[in-house]
Structure 1
Amino acid sequence: MQKASFSRAAEELDLTQSSVSNAIARLKRTVGEELFIRVGRGVKPTSAALSLYEQFESPLASIEQSLQGIDAFDPKNSRRTFYIYANEIMIGLLHHGAEQWLKSTNIKLIFRETPVQEQQLQLDLQLETVDLAIDMIKPELASFNSLEVMTDKLVCVVRKEHPRISGSISRAQYFSEKHIVLNMKRGNLSMVDLLTDEVLPTREMYSEQASILAMLATAANSDAITLASNSYAKQYAELLGLQILSLPLDVNPIKYHMVWSCKLTRNPANMWLRNTLLGLIESRVSISN
């Protein structure tokens, strides 16, 4: 599971490849399910293997920690590179602050955009391809821990010189204007549909964009309206000449969760990473407020 390869697993275990293949074959016969399929030069787990791994990883991690002890982590001397999944808003909020925070160390934080498929995000966390994620969706699986780290609100954004909207927007105005919509990729709902409990009328679309910054830039150069999180919109309102308006709808707050594999809960390096990111988020939120 961790190496995505029989040969690399054999190297890690100091065994022959045939020994690993035979062991997996015995487990396959015991379980009665196919566990891995070949993909290129490696292997990919089946749903049965993923289910078994979820059950095994916690006790295996406890055994490993008992035998080897928990490795110490010294941020002053470490040359570790951490990988974090986050969306555009969180990357924009944290990236510069992280660079400044760590410039006196040899540690690197690499932010990656959250994958479209939820299963891929969870698999990457389980296999430690990434160290943690900051996501709007809280995982339900028991193999993950999560912590709510930030709340934000959805706001309406239009250009300052909009011919019909100034200072506020009514519900009727909101639905009568053309809309710039974010292609969220993860699911078929728009941001506002995801965060409201009511079924909203169809809006006339002006354009569909792949990023929130592109949406804000389009709003700055048109009479169309768009939506963004308050913290992100405030970063670009002055630069792009935008109005930030209260949304004339009842919407739920945007909640961000820090998510990590349970087996890393007591891992010193992961604990340091979580505390560092939490400090960065708290400092950035206090500045934006």
Structure 2
Amino acid sequence: MSQQKSFDLNLFRIFTAVYRTSSFSRAAEELDLTQSSVSNAITRLKLAVGEELFIRVGRGVKPTASAMNLYQQLASPVSEIEQVASSFELFDAKRSERTFYVYASESAILLLQGIVEQFLEELSINLVFREPPLIEEELQMDLQLEKVDLALDIWLPESSSFKSQKVMQDKLVCVARKGHPRISGAITQEQYFNEKHIIFKMRRDNLSVADLLTKQVLPARKMHSEQSSILSMMALASKSDALAIVSKSYTDEYAQLFGLQVFELPFAAEPIEYYMVWSHKLQQNRANIWLRDLLNQAITRRTQA
């Protein structure tokens, strides 16, 4: 039997998993194999191609030039095969008792949780929203390993390993408590920078949301406090003279409750754009398609409301 006829094509699938995850152990987790099986497969492939494929670096592996060249040739066809295989998986929402996991920002959870629960009332399916990890690479890895089914975030992936869809848009506004001694009705740029500020710290990039989305470099602001929760920011603003920048969707829900004035920003800012992100290999997966459709319906109902 020739080498071509006896070649195990599954080696390519294992190779692409190791390449994407930079780890034998994470590839094994993704493929539901043992780490030794993955290591043996890479050894077999190395012997077949006659080139070293990976170099150990710390706890992971780094691809060689030969591996990079091989991956460029294999990534697309292997991904298409995985999509076809995934599409064969049966899914019936009326009979399923599956739990889906979705990484979502605080804002996305606020906007969609109640509506999603209404859609699932007559089903045995459960959907659990989770805040995304602090490190973006961990988010991507969890999507690849299918620890979560998709993500709703302002992050847009560049890798071809993921598919994405823009699903929502929001904007930033400024809030101050009603009865503020110096600000009422509107706010100028001078007033804005003369006050103390409650800063919302992004979970990634070590930036404030204003610095991330504004079209200009902002002057240094006097800090009142730093928060990672928008609701906490609004509560603090209601009990102090400090200003806060929050999304309009939050002020629509909570400005009256917290007794806050809402102002347009006194400087230009980009809109907040939310994306639905999922693993490319789940593009044709019936359960994942159903989940994406469910969330799109929830987003549509939220927008109409």
TM-score range, shorter chain: 0.7 to 0.9
Answer whether contact 1:6 1:21 (CA < 8 A) is retained: no
CA shift, 1:96, in A, is 1.6
Contact 1:84–1:132 under 8 Å retained in 2: yes
Q: From the superposition, tell whether residues 158 and 125 of structure 1 become closer, same or farther in structure 2 (CA, over 3 Å).
A: same
**What secondary structure does 2:55 align onto?**
coil
Q: How many residues of Structure 1 are paired with residues of Structure 2 in the alignment? A: 278
Q: Give the counterpart letter for 2:106 in structure 1.
A: E
In structure 2, the residue matched to 1:33 is: 54
Match of 1:244 in 2: 262
1:107 aligns with 2:125: yes
Q: Indicate the residue corresponding to 1:258 in structure 2.
A: 276
Q: Secondary structure at the match of 1:234?
A: helix
Match of 2:138 in 1: 120
| 1:212 matched residue in structure 2 | 230
Quote the residue 2:113 is aligned against: 95
Deviates most, 261-270 or 213-222: 261-270
Q: Which amino acid aligns with 2:168?
A: M
The alpha-carbon distance between structure 1 residues 263 and 220, as it changes in their structure 2 partners (threshold 3 A), is: same
Give the direction of change, closer, same or farther, for the CA distance of 1:100–1:4 in structure 2 (3 Å limit).
farther
Partner secondary structure for residue 140 of structure 1: coil
The alpha-carbon deviation at position 185 of structure 1 amounts to 2.9
Cα deviation, 1:36-90, whole Å, max 9, x if unaligned, reads: 976xxxxxx5454997889756533533555686223211111111111111100
Superposition CA RMSD, Å: 2.9
| Partner Cα separation in structure 1 for residue 260 and residue 129 of structure 2 | 28
Q: Which residue of 2 aligns with 1:42?
A: none
- Which one-letter code corresponds to 1:126 in the other structure? Q
Q: Secondary structure at the match of 2:81?
A: helix
Aligned pair 1:196/2:217, yes or no?
A: no
Q: Does 1:159 align with 2:180?
A: no
CA distance in 2, matches of 1:235, 1:54: 48
Q: Which has the larger radius of gyration?
A: 2
From 261, 265, 269, give the equivalent of 2:287: 269
Letter of the structure 2 residue corresponding to residue 33 of structure 1: F
Amino acid aligned to 2:177: R
Contact 2:163 2:278 in 1 (8 A): yes
- Does structure 2 conserve the Cα–Cα contact (< 8 Å) formed by 1:28 and 1:35? no
Q: Quote how far apart the aligned CAs of 1:165 are.
A: 1.2
- Please give the alpha-carbon distance, in whole angstroms, between the structure 1 residues aligned to 2:147 and 2:273: 24
Contact 2:120 2:126 in 1 (8 A): yes
Residue 34 of structure 1, CA deviation: 3.2
Q: CA deviation at 1:18?
A: 5.1
Q: Is 1:286 aligned to 2:304, yes or no? A: yes
Deviations for 1:82-123, whole angstroms, at most 9, x for unmatched residues? 111111100111112111210110111111101111111111
One-letter identity of the residue aligned with 2:100: F
Cα 1:69–1:94 shift into 2, 3 Å: closer
Structure 2 letter corresponding to 1:233: T
Separation (CA, whole Å) in 2 of partners of 1:114 and 1:254: 17
Select 1:145's aligned residue among 163, 168, 172. 163
Q: Sort the Cα spacing of 1:8 and 1:140 in 2 relative to 1 into closer, same or farther, 3 A.
A: closer
AA aligned opposite 1:174: Y
Residue 4 of structure 2: aligned partner = none
Q: Which runs of 5+ in 1 are unaligned?
A: 39-44
Q: Provide the C-alpha distance between the structure 2 equivalents of 1:36 and 1:219, rounded to a whole number of angstroms.
A: 48
The question of 1:62 aligning with 2:83 is answered no
Contact 2:102 2:151 in 1 (8 A): yes
Match among 175, 188, 204 for residue 193 of structure 2: 175
Match for residue 74 of structure 1 among 84, 92, 97: 92
Offset of 1:215 from its aligned partner?
A: 0.5
How far apart, CA to CA, are the structure 1 residues paired with 2:228 and 2:289? 33
Report the AA paired with residue 105 of structure 2.
N
Percent identity, aligned pairs only? 51
Name the CA distance, whole Å, in 2 between partners of 1:47 and 1:17: 17
User: For the residues of structure 1 that align with 2:73 and 2:117, how far apart are their CA atoms?
Assistant: 37
Render the CA deviation track for 1:125-144: whole Å, top value 9, x for unaligned: 11111111111121111111
Asked whether the 8 Å contact 2:200–2:227 carries over to 1, the reply is yes
- Describe the shift of the 1:119–1:231 C-alpha distance in structure 2 as closer, same or farther (beyond 3 A): same
Q: Aligned partner of 1:159: which letter?
A: R
